[in-house]
Structure 1
């Protein structure tokens, strides 16, 4: 499981799904930045983010509050996307597109209001976003593969395929070290977001 050969095999099998996850996220960004984006849904998501931001601002220790809220929210969302992917991979696909739409929608809104989007991305997104989104892409990649290998196992068993559940078992085995990577990236991302990003956006 934690051997070099095992980790390399897990990455080889999950890599196409990881790339697909990135593509879904950026497709969501294009949809969210489009004038025909589903604004009612996106505005509802923005209000939830604003609520979290308000809790952080009102706290006596905003950095610690931000770290706790961001960490819990990101870990729960990632683990749900990973585990619930077993249902035909639908949950991680939704997570990727919805998150991409939110980013695209917000960036389009900031641009329309005259904000410096490049500076906003560099200061407000990239420092923590690279870590957090890498974790989300990995979690969703495993979630999608869980769904696909489960379907393959069911149909493979029905049609008498030899060892139809092997891909599913390998995915579950590879998910164990992946969970450690995902949680570590999210924790580090939360630290960066609650400190470096927080300070950069205040300056």
Structure 2
């Protein structure tokens, strides 16, 4: 596994990381400040999660079931979204915006507790790992999408080096250590969310 090359490549990805953080932050603000305008979309996104959460809460060992669901859901989505970036980078961008708006909308609904309390108890313990991992996945998905665009454009410019295609192949090789890193970190995040976060929320 080329973990050293992957971490070195993070330096090359700094502009993409900045972009996804800004887009995520702006989407969070949109979901929080304009909850009425986007309520139908956001409620639709959350309805399935609410139903599933209620179902898991009714099982004999809800924390174990929450752990299994949280880990598989986040790991599968984070890995798949990288490769869906090959479809011109559209789906990683949508996932980034949707997640930011949903989180902002959830925070806007907190009427019984302060937003700070909700963040500290329900989001921060596991989110400090989970959110950066999801942002990294989206960043690599966007990078692959941009390289697909560039590779297509370079087909019509025969006098230039095919640098985009070579870079695309290089990043695809780096997805192996990237996936391992994502899965391990999300495993840790799922353990925290199904134990510490679960306990704090139910205090």
Mark yes or no: TM-score above 0.5: yes
Equivalenced residue count is 200
1:2 matched to which residue of 2?
2
The answer to whether residue 149 in structure 2 is matched with residue 151 in structure 1 is yes
- Whether the 8 Å contact between 2:3 and 2:177 is mirrored in structure 1 is no
Q: CA RMSD in A?
A: 1.5
**Deviation of the 1:57 alpha carbon:** 0.8
1:141 matched to which residue of 2?
139
- Whether the 8 Å contact between 2:6 and 2:178 is mirrored in structure 1 is no
Which residue, 103, 123, 126 being the options, matches 1:125? Answer: 123
Deviations 1:77-108 (A, max 9, x none): 11221111111111111001100000111111
2:53 matched to which residue of 1?
53
Distance 1:119 1:166 in 2: 48
Deviations 1:25-80 (A, max 9, x none): 11111110123531101011221221121122101011110011111111121122
1:185 matched to which residue of 2?
185
TM-score normalised by the chain length of structure 2: 0.93
1:115 matched to which residue of 2?
113
Which is worse superposed, 30-39 or 137-146? 30-39
1:81 matched to which residue of 2?
81
Distance 2:3 2:193 in 1: 32
TM-score normalised by the chain length of structure 1: 0.93
Distance 1:59 1:131 in 2: 27
Q: 1:3 to 1:190 in 2, by over 3 A?
A: closer
Q: 1:129 to 1:3 in 2, by over 3 A?
A: closer
Which sections of structure 1, spanning at least 5 residues, go unmatched? none
- Whether the 8 Å contact between 2:28 and 2:100 is mirrored in structure 1 is yes
The answer to whether residue 75 in structure 2 is matched with residue 69 in structure 1 is no
**Deviation of the 1:8 alpha carbon:** 4.1
Distance 2:69 2:18 in 1: 28
